[in-house]
Amino acid sequence: MSRHLIVRDDAVLSGVDEGSGPAVIFQHGLGASDLQVAEVFPLLPGYRRLTLECRGHGRSEPGPSEGFAIAVFAEDVLAFADSRGIEQFAVGGISMGAAIALRIAVIAPRRVRALVMARPAWLWDAAPPNLRFYLEAARMLQDLGPEAGRHAFERSPSAEFLVGDAPDNVASLLSFFAPDRPSWTASLLASVARDGPGLSKAQIAGIDAPTLVVGHQRDIAHPLSHARELAGLIGRAELLEVTPKSDDRTSHIREVSAGVVSFLSRHLRSVPEGALQ
């Protein structure tokens, strides 16, 4: 694995660039890092995988708090691609990473050869109701601190509701209360949950790149209805429904990985030699 740094708005951001072949930029979800991407999209022969750890994630510095925004994250990713000499690429991501990839597909269509959105949490509107639990967790973390905030959230009606219908969402939310999380975690969590991709429904419908949308049941933060709506809206999209992560994590990862690899092998194979870095 090769790590590379770029400086954006006085923040040093860390990215991974590994492998060779058609370039695939794949972004992680909120609170995660390159490790999440490496698990779902491991290094494969014949592909060059790049991931920029977003501001305040992994080894990347937070920078100014106004930088905790999907539009800013997308610009950072494009700057990272430029710094690595990559003009065209497939772009994808998980949850927040899917929203970043979606925005890039709209604002830089000539650069995007294929689009992958795994477990999308956003359609086009900001602050979607499915992310209201993240705002609640952010308030508790801000007001009470990690330990007391975790206890308060665990006893909340929201957590009780999620445990039954979406236990993986609870695990994700509780991870933000870890004592080793930095002090600005609440700001990051709230800012992103209130945000959106900054796109219109018409702009999303205008995407012409081949697209894979991955979703599953038992996930309130990433409703399957979002995946179905995006797949139905984008003309060249296909939907892949996989095993819920909370039911069988191993099967979930295997099915997502296999689906992404199959999709990329079909849609990057026809790119003329030399078109992708």
3-state secondary structure the chain: CEEEEEEECCEEEEEEEEECCCEEEEECCCCCCHHHHHHHCCCCCCCEEEEECCCCCCCCCCCCHHHCCHHHHHHHHHHHHHHCCCCCEEEEEECHHHHHHHHHHHHCHHHEEEEEEECCCCCCCCCCHHHHHHHHHHHHHHHHCHHHHHHHHHCCHHHHHHHHHCHHHHHHHHHCCCCCCCCCHHHHHHHHHHCCCCCCHHHHHCCCCCEEEEECCCCCCCCHHHHHHHHHHCCCEEEEECCCCCCCHHHHHHHHHHHHHHHHHHHHCCCCCCCCC
Whether residue 275 lies inside any domain: the answer is no
pLDDT value at position 9?
87
Boundaries of domain holding 168: 127-194
- 273, pLDDT greater than 60: no
Confidence of residue 46 (pLDDT cuts 50, 70, 90): confident
Confidence of residue 276 (pLDDT cuts 50, 70, 90): very low
pTM: 0.95
Whether residue 273 lies inside any domain: the answer is no
Same domain, 104 and 61: yes
Same domain, 132 and 253: no
Same domain, 17 and 99: yes
Whether residue 259 lies inside any domain: the answer is yes
89-99, pLDDT tens digit by residue? 999 999 999 99
Same domain, 143 and 216: no
Confidence of residue 10 (pLDDT cuts 50, 70, 90): confident
pLDDT value at position 204?
98
